[in-house]
Structure 1
Amino acid sequence: MPATRSEAGAEVAGFNVLVGGALGGQQPELARPLDVFVQSDSVVPVALAILEVFRDHGPREQRKKARLKVLLGQWGLERFRAAVEVRMGAPLERAAESATRQHGGDHIGISPQRQPGRSVVGCLVPVGRVSGDDLIEFGRLAAEYGTAELRLTVQQNVLIPNVPDEFLGALLAEPLLATYSPKPSPWIRSMVTCTGNDYCHFSLIDTKAEALKLAGALEERYEIDEPVRIQMSGCPHACGQHRAGEIGLLGDRKRVDGEILDAADIFADGCLGED
């Protein structure tokens, strides 16, 4: 996590290290602070040292227990930290002040840039799935209305930067933006799913299609102003991080009157931190 400390009156930027996070399985855990601060040139060596300690000492008897969180549970954080220091061959700096203040937003919509008269248009990719043809069309729009540049966000949405303000009206009228809207429904805006059984044999349900149907049904029934984080996983591996959603859905199969039906276990009030 981004962090800063003072050195000789100057601010030094770097990262605080957290370890052992895992949202899948029956015993999910958030990553825990290792009480270590690293500057950018030490990120790779420290990460390698952590991996090497886990490689040499982590449990291997059962595949499901071959996780860093299990080793941390056996050893505790101080013993693990000391082992990483031995691997590094030098003491590690203690954690510095966190530089994380608030969530940066999803970048959906029209946002003015620093450059006067230019804006970035953030387009929602519903449940993170876009076709190759549509990506090619995004490229055409970026070339016609911007500077032939596209950016992708961590939420798997598409940004078209450097759009002159006088071109915004024409860009927003393009048919592609009816599907990938800069003004999406609050129900679909923060919807997160895993790949689903289209491309993953672990998934029990078609998470992508079910999420779209769910968002559509909720939009018909309820009017809301703020997005709700609905997160769906197709199996306990939790690639959709269902435990972190305000509403979480875990795919399942149930027998009803002799027929096997798609189903979901429901979770509520999940989060990944105070914010």
Structure 2
Amino acid sequence: RLKFLMADWGPERFRTEVEKYLGFALPDGPSPPPSAAAHRDHVGVFEQRDGCMYVGFAPRAGRIAGRQLRKVADLADEFGAGRIRTTTQQKMVVLDVPPRRVDGLVAGLADEDLQVRPSPFRAGLMACTGIEFCKLAITETKGRAIWLARELEERLPAFDEQIRIHVNGCPNSCARFQVADIGLMGAVLPRPDGTRSEAFLVHLGGGLGRNGGFARKAKGIRIFADEAADYVETLLKRYRSRRNGASSFQEFIHSLSDEELADFARWEPR
């Protein structure tokens, strides 16, 4: 993976080696301005430049069945021009929809449980392939993430802020847990009886764009996978009660000292 090479060489040597292959020096330029919309998930209904609309929807944790894909293709033909896109946030978009036909498309997608206006938990959810299909993973992810979102929807129905929860089955970051509000990295931990169970390490407050940065590791916090819903619910309730004017979960986490973060992230199993 390129990330390991970059970690080994560093950016200066990497650039030098690239310039050797290119045969010329790369020019320096100003840093690009931070994106104000770095986390666009394209979920919802938006206007295109040509006056048509594009309609983005959220499968559950990025998982979509073959029958659903066939239905999406049919709906794209019926309500648009047959063009579909996938996004970097595990979402899908139907393009070129006339405004008068949007409602019909939204209803057709909803019939397949493909939500155009999902809960914040479903909209911000990502999960890697996990142990079901990946030889590197050490935890199950897709089913766990779907369960987690459903639990949070039931337990926190009034939560209406954007919140990105990424579930990763190993340290390799295919689901980018370091840039999530709440990143769960797969692990295996021993239980008191000596058996070993799937678990997660916790990273908080990551993001891209204007106030971006890697998530802060909640040091010493390890939760068993079956405790994930209880733990995330506890974090979000603490956030809502302690936010002290912070405009987002990420901003709140950035405002905490190391000691305050440790207190915020502490876990006492029920």
Aligned partner of 1:245: which letter?
A
Deviations 1:18-46 (A, max 9, x none): xx973xxxxxxxxxxxxxxxxxxxxxxxx
Q: CA deviation at 1:113?
A: 2.4
Alignment of 1:39-54 (within 5 A): none
| Structure 2 segments unaligned to the other structure (5+ residues) | 213-270
Task: Confirm or deny that 1:91 pairs with 2:25.
Answer: yes
Deviations 1:38-63 (A, max 9, x none): xxxxxxxxxxxxxxxxxxxxxxxxxx
Q: CA deviation at 1:135?
A: 0.7
3-state DSSP class of the match of 1:213? helix
Bigger-Rg structure (1/2): 1
Alignment-derived partner of residue 179 in structure 2: 244
Q: CA deviation at 1:115?
A: 2.9
Q: CA deviation at 1:89?
A: 3.0
CA distance in 1, matches of 2:15, 2:198: 44
Aligned partner of 2:143: which letter?
A
Alignment-derived partner of residue 159 in structure 1: 93
Structure 1 residues 101 and 68 mapped into 2: Cα distance closer, same or farther (>3 Å)? closer
Structure 1 residues 203 and 139 mapped into 2: Cα distance closer, same or farther (>3 Å)? same
Aligned partner of 1:151: which letter?
R
Instruction: Give the TM-score normalised by the residue count of structure 1.
Output: 0.68
**Worse-superposed segment, 145-154 or 86-95:** 86-95
3-state DSSP class of the match of 1:179? coil
Alignment-derived partner of residue 171 in structure 1: 105
Aligned partner of 1:252: which letter?
A
Alignment of 1:55-94 (within 5 A): 67-72=5-10, 77=12, 80-94=14-28
3-state DSSP class of the match of 2:83? coil
CA RMSD across the alignment: 2.4
Structure 1 residues 159 and 201 mapped into 2: Cα distance closer, same or farther (>3 Å)? same
Q: CA deviation at 1:216?
A: 1.1
CA distance in 2, matches of 1:260, 1:121: 44
**Worse-superposed segment, 264-273 or 210-219:** 264-273
Instruction: Give the TM-score normalised by the residue count of structure 2.
Output: 0.69
Q: CA deviation at 1:134?
A: 0.9
CA distance in 2, matches of 1:239, 1:207: 11
Alignment-derived partner of residue 46 in structure 2: 111
Alignment-derived partner of residue 260 in structure 1: 196
Task: Confirm or deny that 1:181 pairs with 2:119.
Answer: no
Aligned partner of 2:133: which letter?
Y
Structure 1 residues 81 and 154 mapped into 2: Cα distance closer, same or farther (>3 Å)? closer
CA distance in 2, matches of 1:249, 1:164: 40
Conservation of the 8 A alpha-carbon contact between 1:137 and 1:176: no
Query: Pick from 164, 170, 184: which aligns with 1:229?
Result: 164
Higher fraction of strand: 1
CA distance in 2, matches of 1:175, 1:94: 47
CA distance in 2, matches of 1:206, 1:80: 35
Structure 1 residues 71 and 146 mapped into 2: Cα distance closer, same or farther (>3 Å)? same
3-state DSSP class of the match of 2:46? strand
Task: Confirm or deny that 1:101 pairs with 2:35.
Answer: yes
Q: CA deviation at 1:97?
A: 4.5
CA distance in 2, matches of 1:165, 1:192: 29
